């Protein structure tokens, strides 16, 4: 018997378990009657379809079908949301998006909003992911040491991961505002005059990067920590016997063996970073100006919020973003498959 279930076996059996579940049991018993009939009729394969049906139906209606008709949207025009009220425009949406005199300068583009948000997103992704992996790696290394109260410290860094993006955004909006904690600290320590950080283009960008790192780093640190703990202790002991210096141990043992996990962290970080929206939106609303306007917000506003809404353009933009994500996902699947193979060896 698989020992994963041993824990369950060890619990003493209680007959009172049943008392609470009586209504559930009754319902299940009633459902069983037609299902037994269906089983007689359709056999085991029929039952498999029955078990799959609810999930796959919901999945098809709310994920697969939208995924497919997104392409249809991207070749239609108009401001109406229902397809039957929209008209075919061919590749015009994509042509509009790519209609630029210079791709380096968004103001020369017809759809400057798309390019501004794309440029913002690209910059954000590069800076945020690089910094976050660095912070996550250091955190994981620190947590992997023999420190007193390790689970407490792990919890410290993990805590913000569960907070909602709205809460995260509001907490930091409150801290970064004029009468906020940051200004208090700077004032008390260095005598800085209070400053409205979120109205400064560069500071707002830094804030978006910093806040998303704050909110997510614990998650990635945990993955890296798991990777670190999977490295056999004997390797370190062998290195110690050989008198290897610590920095050398880190670069020749720890880092190479952690590479698969770092790759997973990198790709997952990229995937999430490309879609950045909630925290930044609550924190800055995309401002000041359009300095923290990212792709998802652009798609959202094009599709729903702006006065000149254009679902077709939003769909085309979302497909372009989706293409990036698909590539990243493929890389991730390839990476994790390679990891699995390594594990088998």
Partner 1 sequence: MSRITLEKVCKSFGALGVLHDIDLDIRDGEFVVFVGPSGCGKSTLLRQIAGLDRPTSGEIHIDGKLVNTVPAADRGLAMVFQSYALYPHMSVRQNLAFGLENARMPRAEIDKRIAEAARMLEIGDYLERRPGQLSGGQRQRVAIGRAIVRNPTAFLLDEPLSNLDAELRISMRAELSALHDRLRTTMIYVTHDQIEAMTLASRIVVLRKGRVEQVGTPLDLYNRPANRFVAGFIGAPSMNFVKGTVVEAGDTATSVSLMGLSVAVPRPAAGVAPGQAVSVGLRPQHISLAGDGGDGVPVEVTLVEALGSETVIHGRTGGGERLQAVLAGQHALRAGESVRLAFAPADLHLFDDAGLRLA
Partner 2 sequence: MGNVLRFLTRRRGGDRWHWTDVVTWVWLIGGLLVMFGPAVWLVLSSFKTPAALAAFPPTLMPYVIEEAIVAGYDRPLPLYEVRQADGRTVVLAEVRRIGIVAQMVDPRAPETIVKVNIADRQPVEKVSFATSNYTEPFVHFDFLRYLWNSVFVTVMATAVTLLINSMAAFALAKYKFRGQSLILIVIVGTLMVPLGVIMVPLYSMISALGLFNSLWGVIWPTVATPTGVFLLRQYMLTIPDELIDAARMDKASEWQIYWRIVLPLATPALAVLAIFSVVWRWNDFLWPLIVLSQSQLYTLQVGLNVYAGQLNVQWHYILAMTVVTMIPVVLVFVFLQRFIARGIATSGLK
Give the Cβ contact number of residue 47 at 10 Å: 13
CB 228 within 8 Å of CB 144? yes
Told to check if 41 binds partner 1 by CB under 8 A, we report: no
- In order, the DSSP letters of 242-307 are TT--HHHHIIIIIHHHHHHHHHHHHHHHHHHHHT--HHHHHHHTT-STTTT--HHHHHHIIIIIST
Question: Could you tell me which of 158, 146, 168, 278 has the C-alpha nearest to residue 223?
Answer: 158
Q: Please state, in angstroms and as integers, the Cα–Cα distance from residue 119 to each residue in 32, 105, 113, 199, 275, following that order.
A: 57, 10, 10, 20, 13
Burial of 263 (0-12, 13-18, 19+ CB in 10 A): middle
What are φ and ψ of residue 313, in 5° steps?
-65, -40
Burial of 117 (0-12, 13-18, 19+ CB in 10 A): buried
Residue closer to partner 1 by CB (options 9, 146) is: 9
Q: Out of 98, 278, 287, 331, point to the residue binding partner 2 (CB under 8 A).
A: 278
Footprint (CB under 8 A) of partner 2, residues 206-265 = 214, 218-219, 222-223, 225-226, 246, 264
CB of residue 274 to partner 1, shortest distance in Å: 43
Told to check if 12 binds partner 1 by CB under 8 A, we report: yes
Told to check if 41 binds partner 2 by CB under 8 A, we report: no
Told to check if 45 binds partner 1 by CB under 8 A, we report: no
CB of residue 252 to partner 2, shortest distance in Å: 17
Footprint (CB under 8 A) of partner 2, residues 311-330 = 311, 314-315, 318-319, 321-322, 325-326, 328-329
Residue closer to partner 1 by CB (options 3, 55) is: 3
Q: Out of 91, 105, 126, 159, point to the residue binding partner 2 (CB under 8 A).
A: 159
Residue closer to partner 1 by CB (options 11, 145) is: 11
3-state secondary structure of 103: coil
Stretch binding partner 2 (CB under 8 A), from 66-74, 99-107, 120-128, 200-208 = 66-74
Degrees (nearest 5) of the Cα angle 178, 184, 187? 105
Residue closer to partner 2 by CB (options 106, 169) is: 169
Stretch binding partner 1 (CB under 8 A), from 2-10, 49-57, 236-244, 250-258 = 2-10
> From residue 156 to residue 175, what is the string marking binding to partner 1 with x (rule CB under 8 A)?
--------------------
Stretch binding partner 2 (CB under 8 A), from 65-73, 100-108, 109-117, 119-127 = 65-73
What are φ and ψ of residue 71, in 5° steps?
-65, -40
Q: Which residue has the tokens 């652009």?
A: 298
Told to check if 296 binds partner 2 by CB under 8 A, we report: yes
CB 318 within 8 Å of CB 70? yes
Told to check if 130 binds partner 2 by CB under 8 A, we report: no
Q: Out of 108, 130, 187, 306, point to the residue binding partner 2 (CB under 8 A).
A: 187
> From residue 298 to residue 317, what is the string marking binding to partner 1 with x (rule CB under 8 A)?
--------------------
CB of residue 42 to partner 1, shortest distance in Å: 12
Q: Could you list the residues that contact partner 1 (CB under 8 A)? A: 1, 5-6, 8-13
């Amino acid at each position: 018997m698989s020992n994963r279930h041993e824990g369950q076996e060890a619990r003493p059996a209680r007959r009172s378990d049943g008392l609470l579940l009586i209504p559930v049991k009754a319902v299940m018993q009633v459902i069983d009657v037609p299902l037994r009939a269906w089983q007689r009729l359709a056999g085991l394969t029929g039952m498999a379809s029955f078990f799959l049906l609810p999930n796959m139906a919901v999945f098809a209606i709310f994920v697969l079908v939208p995924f497919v008709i997104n392409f249809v949207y991207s070749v239609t025009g108009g401001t109406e949301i229902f397809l039957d009220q929209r008209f075919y425009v061919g590749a015009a949406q994509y042509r509009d998006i790519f209609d630029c005199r210079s791709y380096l300068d968004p103001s020369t583009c017809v759809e400057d909003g798309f390019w501004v948000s794309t440029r913002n997103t690209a910059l954000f992704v590069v800076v945020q992911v690089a910094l976050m992996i660095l912070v996550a790696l250091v955190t994981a290394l620190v947590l992997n040491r023999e420190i007193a109260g390790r689970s407490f410290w792990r919890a410290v860094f993990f805590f913000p991961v569960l907070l909602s993006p709205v809460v995260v955004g509001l907490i930091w909006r409150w801290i970064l505002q004029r009468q906020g904690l940051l200004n208090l600290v700077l004032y008390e320590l260095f005598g800085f005059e209070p400053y409205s950080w979120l109205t400064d283009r560069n500071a707002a960008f830094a804030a978006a990067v910093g806040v998303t790192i704050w909110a997510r780093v614990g998650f990635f640190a945990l993955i890296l920590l798991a990777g670190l703990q999977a490295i056999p202790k004997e390797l370190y002991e062998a290195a110690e016997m050989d008198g290897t210096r610590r920095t050398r141990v880190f670069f020749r043992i720890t880092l190479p063996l952690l590479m698969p996990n770092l790759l997973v962290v990198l790709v997952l970080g990229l995937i999430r970073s490309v879609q950045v929206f909630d925290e930044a939106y609550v924190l800055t609303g995309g401002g000041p100006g359009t300095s923290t306007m990212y792709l998802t917000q652009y798609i959202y506003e094009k599709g729903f919020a702006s006065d000149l809404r254009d679902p077709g353009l939003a769909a085309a933009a979302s497909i372009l973003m989706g293409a990036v994500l698909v590539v990243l996902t493929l890389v991730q699947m390839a990476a994790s498959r390679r990891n699995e193979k390594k594990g088998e060896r």
